[in-house]
Amino acid sequence: MSGENGLALLALGPAGAVGLYWALYRYYRNTDKSHAFERETRVEAKPVTGSDVKVGTNNGTQNRRIEGENLRDYRRRVQQMRKDGG
């Protein structure tokens, strides 16, 4: 292999990597597409509905555990998957 052909072959690797990176970037980022969300998308505002109901307080809590936790009861937390699909 002559020196000129070897140099061209060595340059082909990085050039191919750059080309592949650019193609994947354009494919996943859609940089060649344009969409102006603010202009092309219509969003209708509606009045806020709901209520503010105070459920309880949690000030000065001293408990280190949550009431009703199932951390150690793994059989209740995790259901076994059977091989027959049921």
Q: What is the pTM for the complete model shown? A: 0.34
Spell out the SS3 assignment of 31-72: CCCCCCHHHHCCCCCCCCCCCCCCCCCCCCCCCCCCCCCCCC
Report pLDDT digits (tens) over 31-86: 666 667 777 777 788 888 888 888 777 777 787 787 777 777 767 666 666 666 54
